[in-house]
Chains A and B, each alone.
Chain A
């Protein structure tokens, strides 16, 4: 099947700064994909190159099979981008902005679809308000709406939930999930790794302009070696000898025991029961995307230096 986005050997530098080096990436149609990395890793630069806002020094990018340089019109018709910055045109109302944006894509009559997005993004009350009068969260929604006026098969969201309150975050994600279920390919960047973990099938991690990890979310987490553990607060605060070899740490009255698999939990519980030790608190720790992220960023840093 035709990849939604195909990035081949893309390099980009600003003077001496290498923003992106040899980026190869294929995002399949229908995927929910996350682009992760610390600030300055090159995520926004990569998105800008895909969107045609920035021009790569070498390499090529296709969106739905259309080269973003030589067939820019077809490529852009297939792509909706929600920029990271809260940009807006102060001269117009929400509905005007959306109808104008539709026109840029060659769509003359778009009132029905525009009304539908306005409603689905909960903007109905503000449809005729000037953009200046909108709160940050509302402006963010308009940006999302603007990216959707032409019903693009591929949608890129650059930190859509930065500085957005919990409720709007939920609304936004529900909406974006719905879009993905309707067949749109979704690419997003975020610093909230738990969001990426629950939503995204696949993840690419960028560091200093290079892709340092590219795999499904499950595989990345599954590969974590420094894995599971159990944290316990006990009375009396002393482990029976059988459990002592498992202990990794003991801070503030909490003992952390390393386990290889969940079956070991039963062994720990029975050992405590036999020793007549009471459990006050118990937490199962398992690696999440954040652990993967931290570990990959730390290790790849050593390699690249």
Chain B
């Protein structure tokens, strides 16, 4: 247990020491999104009855910040260690592959939550946004950041250079999160796009998270929960297998 806790502590300390870049910067950019959408769209869109667009947007933006930072944390930590070579200190130690997995994932969850919470708290100053079912929101934010942490770990292990990691981030993570209903409800989309959206696991994370805020969602939160949990399990198993086999780590 000490080994796992130490690695977790190290991973937390790693992003905490560069908090401007890892926590404040994503908070600022998320709030900028909010500011711009607020300015441009407030008057034109009403997604749910009695829910102003800004208020609708906030949970989506919070979740997007969570997703991107959870992914960034595990993936950049892993690839930096690999490229600078200091991953050997972990590989030489008796840390089990499960301990390594859980430490990276938990650190990702913590960073995702910190950024998400930061954004949410700032928006509270300006908007009256209720959190009707906080446990649902918490559940989705934890599962979502864990899923993205696991994906980040996989991407970090798989990528041999920063370029490949950036490709993973820009061509997979970004489109999936932008097209997951952060900025809109999928009911506003043409039918074909609605079907496609259902294939996007990120959609369920954001929809379920939003349910925690408004008690309303595009689909049942139980289905979303099930789908997110299954995705998390599958991705986690893959990441653990990669660690166990030493894929790209123990050559």
Contacts and interface: CB of A to CB of B under 8 A. Distances in A.
A107 interface: yes
Interface in A79-130: 79, 81, 83, 85, 87-92, 96, 100-108
A104 B90 contact: yes
A89 B18 CA distance: 14
Contact of B7 (A51, A79, A104): A104
Contact of B94 (A54, A77, A100, A102): A77
Contacts of B92: 51-53, 76, 79, 81
Contacts of A161: none
Contacts of B85: 83, 85, 87
A105 B93 contact: yes
A89 B17 CA distance: 13
B95 A87 contact: no
Nearest to A108: B2
B88 interface: yes
Interface residues of B, number: 27
Given A83-B88, A90-B84, A91-B17, A55 B94 contact: no
A80 to B, nearest CB: 8
Q: Which of A53, A77, A92 has the most CB of B within 10 A?
A: A53
Contacts of B9: 100, 103
B98 to A, nearest CB: 12
Contacts of A264: none
A293 interface: no
A73 B99 CA distance: 12
Contacts of A106: 2-3, 94
A146 interface: yes
A146 B90 CA distance: 11
Contact of A105 (B10, B88, B94, B246): B94
Interface string A37-80: 00000000000000111110000000000000000111011010
Q: Which of A76, A89, A90 has the most CB of B within 10 A?
A: A89
A19 to B, nearest CB: 11
Given A76-B93, A87-B86, A88-B86, A105 B3 contact: yes
B230 interface: no
Contact of A103 (B3, B14, B17, B96): B3
Contact of A89 (B2, B86, B91): B86
A96 B9 CA distance: 11
Given A55-B250, A87-B85, A91-B13, A103 B94 contact: no
B5 interface: yes
Given A53-B88, A55-B250, A73 B94 contact: yes
A73 B96 contact: yes
A54 B89 contact: no
B64 to A, nearest CB: 27
B10 to A, nearest CB: 5
Interface string B91-110: 11111100000000000000
B171 interface: no
Nearest to B6: A103
B126 interface: no
A90 B77 CA distance: 12
A85 B17 CA distance: 25
Contact of A104 (B6, B84, B246, B250): B6
A103 B13 CA distance: 14
Interface string B1-38: 01101110110011001100000000000000000000
B244 to A, nearest CB: 11
A53 B89 contact: no
A76 B96 CA distance: 11
A53 B2 contact: no
A87 B88 contact: yes
Nearest to B91: A53
Nearest to B7: A104
Contacts of A101: 89, 93
A53 B6 CA distance: 21
Interface of A: 14, 51-55, 72-74, 76-77, 79, 81, 83, 85, 87-92, 96, 100-108, 146
Top 3 closest A-B pairs, CB basis?
Answer: A103-B6, A104-B93, A87-B85
Interface of B: 2-3, 5-7, 9-10, 13-14, 17-18, 81, 84-86, 88-96, 246, 250-251
Given A54-B251, A76-B92, A90-B84, 12 more contacts: A54-B250, A83-B85, A87-B84, A87-B86, A89-B81, A103-B9, A104-B3, A104-B6, A104-B89, A104-B95, A106-B3, A108-B2
